[in-house]
Chains A and B, each alone.
Chain A
Amino acid sequence: MQQRATITEATLIGNADLAPPRKRRGRPMHKILVSFSVAYFTGAFVTDLVYWQMPDVLWERFSIWLIAAGLIMAGVATVAYVIDLAGRRRIDRPAWPRAIGYGLAVLLALTNAFVHSRDGYTAVVPTGLTLSALVIVVLLLTAWVSMAQANRHRIGG
Chain B
Amino acid sequence: MYQLKMVASPKLPRLAALLTTVACLGLAGCDDHAGDPKMQIGANPVLPAVQQYLMPPMRVAKAVGWGDETPTVSQGLQVHALATGLEHPRSVYVLPNGDVLVVESNGPKAPIYRPKDIITGWVQSFAGAKAKDANRITLIRGANGNGSPELRTVFLDHLNSPFGVALIGHDIYVANTDAIMRFPYQDGQTTITARGTKVTDLPGGPIDHHWTKALLASPDGSKLYVGVGSNSNIGENGIGAEYERAAVWEVDVASGAHRIFASGIRNPTGLQWEPETGKLWAIANERDEIGPDLVPDYLTSVKDGGFYGWPYSYYGQHLDPRIVPQRPDLVAKAIAPDYALSSHVAPLGVAMYTGTDLPANYRSGAFVGEHGSWNRTPLNGYKVVFVPFSDGQPSGPAQDVVTGFLDANNHARGRPVGLAVDRSGGLLIADDVGNTVWRVSGSLPKPAS
By a beta-carbon cutoff of 8 Å, the part of chain A in contact with chain B is 55-58, 60-61, 64-65, 68, 108, 111, 113-115, 117-123, 125-127, 130-131
Contacts and interface: CB of A to CB of B under 8 A. Distances in A.
Contact of A122 (B55, B56, B116, B321): B321
B49 interface: no
Interface string B237-259: 11000000000000000000000
B33 interface: no
Interface stretch (B153-161, B322-330, B357-365, B407-415): B322-330
A55 to B, nearest CB: 5
Given A56-B238, A57-B236, A57-B238, A118 B113 contact: no
Contact of B18 (A111, A123, A125): A111
A115 B54 contact: yes
A119 B234 contact: yes
B389 interface: no
Given A119-B235, A120-B322, A127-B6, 12 more contacts: A56-B238, A57-B238, A65-B114, A111-B18, A114-B55, A117-B56, A119-B236, A119-B288, A121-B323, A122-B8, A122-B322, A131-B14
B232 interface: yes
A107 to B, nearest CB: 8
Contact of B236 (A68, A114, A123, A125): A123
A117 B237 CA distance: 12
A120 B115 contact: no
Interface string B1-13: 0000010101000
Contacts of B395: none
A118 B50 CA distance: 13
A64 B112 CA distance: 13
A114 B53 CA distance: 8
B124 interface: no
Interface in B42-68: 52-56
A119 B115 contact: no
Contacts of A60: 236
A51 to B, nearest CB: 10
B289 interface: yes
B314 to A, nearest CB: 13
A119 B232 contact: yes
Contact of A114 (B10, B54, B321, B323): B54
Contacts of B441: none
B106 interface: no
Contacts of A117: 56, 114-116
B323 A120 contact: yes
B322 A126 contact: no
Contact of A57 (B55, B233, B237): B237
Interface residues of B, number: 31
B21 interface: yes
Given A68-B115, A111-B18, A127-B8, A120 B235 contact: yes
B76 to A, nearest CB: 44
A61 B233 contact: no
Contacts of B322: 118-123
A113 B320 CA distance: 22
B117 to A, nearest CB: 10
Nearest to B323: A120
19 contacts: A57-B236, A57-B237, A64-B114, A65-B115, A111-B18, A114-B55, A115-B54, A117-B115, A117-B116, A118-B289, A119-B233, A119-B289, A120-B323, A121-B321, A121-B324, A122-B8, A123-B236, A127-B6, A127-B14
Contacts of B114: 61, 64-65, 117
Nearest to B10: A126
A115 B8 CA distance: 11
B295 to A, nearest CB: 13
B404 to A, nearest CB: 33
Nearest to B241: A57
Contacts of B14: 127, 130-131
A120 B234 contact: yes
Nearest to B17: A127
Contact of B54 (A57, A108, A111, A126): A111
A117 B320 CA distance: 17
A131 B17 CA distance: 12
Nearest to A134: B14
Contacts of A115: 54
Contacts of A114: 53-55
Interface centre among B8, B114, B289, by most A CB within 10 Å?
A: B114
Nearest to B4: A114
Contacts of B236: 57, 60, 119-120, 123
Contacts of B288: 119
B269 to A, nearest CB: 20
Contacts of A121: 321-324
A64 B52 CA distance: 17
Nearest to B50: A122
A70 to B, nearest CB: 12
